[in-house]
Chains A and B, each alone.
Chain A
Amino acid sequence: MEALQTKAKELLAAGTVQVAIGYGKGTGNARRPLFVTKPERAADLIVDAACTQNLATYLTKHEVRVMGRMAVVAVPSTLRSILQLAAEKQIREEQVLALAVIDGQVRELATFEAIEEAVATIPDAMSEADRNMIDKLSAMSVPERRAFWADELVRCVKCYACRASCPMCYCERCTTDVNRPQWIPVASHAVGNLEYHVMRAMHLAGRCVECGTCGKACPVGIPVHLLTIYAEDSVRRQFGQRGGASAKLDYAMSTFKPDDKEEFIR
């Protein structure tokens, strides 16, 4: 933690970056995002097991970008997000510097190449709870799964916290905002909620870095991250590609192979 604070202080003092995005103290034991612009405030940065939010979300926000070059405290999934944003031309190398926290060590990663190398050495870490949940759901029958999701999604209040917390949901105009046609009903409603969450997962398939931040952001505790993780997993299983592995575009859904399976097409 001290290593990180010192590093952030140095970077800010030297003017290498104008803002350091990290974790600070929140209510109780919770952590909240902290934007440090003055070197002397770098001591407020915290790194511990409670820091799980994917801070890459802020890298595309106009309000943060105008501050100048950004240093971002990056857990492994944040590094993947940076690469995916780079691949989608949403961020340039000179705009961001990653302070990667890997196994308690802080490493400064200034280039996408360095981030790619770091990411390649990190094993996938889907949490055990998520893995168990997906296994449990996969073992259910289709009507059982329908009942499970109907029960969960009925609580959705359409606050779009899942969308707001996601680094990959940066579209200026989301399908949910379109009203001609009204793809997604505005009100919270059983079928609209299902449509919204299916749509979100489809739009993230092949781009999701499986950070699970959307699920943690949900104020009513719907495990929405399972949908995006499942869709991402489906892409990986079927096409062998994944989101956030490279700063060059390698998006499974924008390409194809002539011999993709088609036994379901008659």
Chain B
Amino acid sequence: MAEPFEPKITAFVCNWCTYAGADLTGTSRIKYQPNVRVIRLPCTGRIDFMMVLKAFTRGSDGVIISGCHPNDCHYTSGNYHARRRWMVFRDLLEFVGIDLERIIFSWVSAAEGAKWADLVNEVTSKVRALGPYRELRQLAAVGID
């Protein structure tokens, strides 16, 4: 019998807020779904949109992008710049026919350990319900049999 589907979630998080927040989740002994793979980057401004595409083509079923709340950026304005980029990126992705349900954006501060746990749980159940992500991966497999 095939194993039940367990989604793989890639989380691109900033070093200063969300990574520290996720750390707090652990030190607070809050349990959450183990489906998430955290990738730590200096800032949300460092999250190139190409990373999101690569995450999907390499096997992610969902992507979480999270960083400091507005006004809390360690580099003053990295999250504001990132937010603009996502606004256009989301628009463009929809235009090329990639649905946005699997890309979740969030602000999680270093004090919000519980919010991180909730976010991961919520996203994992949502993606579990959506099922495996096939569209981009099918494209990636074209010609490789």
Q: Which residues of A contact B (CB under 8 A)?
A: 137-138, 142-150, 175, 183, 189-191, 194-195, 197-199, 201-202, 205-206, 227, 230-231, 234-235, 238-239, 252-258, 260-262, 264-266
Contact assessment for B140 and A190 in the assembled complex, using a CB-CB cutoff below 8 Å: yes
| Cα A239 to Cα B85 with chains together (Å) | 11
Interface of A is mostly: helix
Contact assessment for A205 and B92 in the assembled complex, using a CB-CB cutoff below 8 Å: yes
Name, among B71, B107, B140, B143, the residue most crowded by chain A CB atoms within 10 Å (CB to CB).
B140
Contact assessment for B85 and A253 in the assembled complex, using a CB-CB cutoff below 8 Å: yes
Interface of B is mostly: helix
Given contacts A146-B135, A191-B140, contact A256 B84 (CB under 8 A): yes
Contact stretch, chosen from B3-11, B20-28, B31-39, B97-105 = B97-105
Contact assessment for B104 and A147 in the assembled complex, using a CB-CB cutoff below 8 Å: no
Contact assessment for B80 and A198 in the assembled complex, using a CB-CB cutoff below 8 Å: no
> For residue B136, which residue of chain A has the nearest CB?
A191
Contact assessment for B83 and A262 in the assembled complex, using a CB-CB cutoff below 8 Å: yes
Contact assessment for A260 and B96 in the assembled complex, using a CB-CB cutoff below 8 Å: no
Q: Contacting B96 at CB < 8 Å: which of A205, A227, A235, A254? A: A227
Given contacts A189-B142, A190-B140, A258-B80, contact A145 B106 (CB under 8 A): no
How far in angstroms is the closest Cβ of chain B from A129?
17
Given contacts A191-B57, A256-B83, contact A227 B88 (CB under 8 A): no
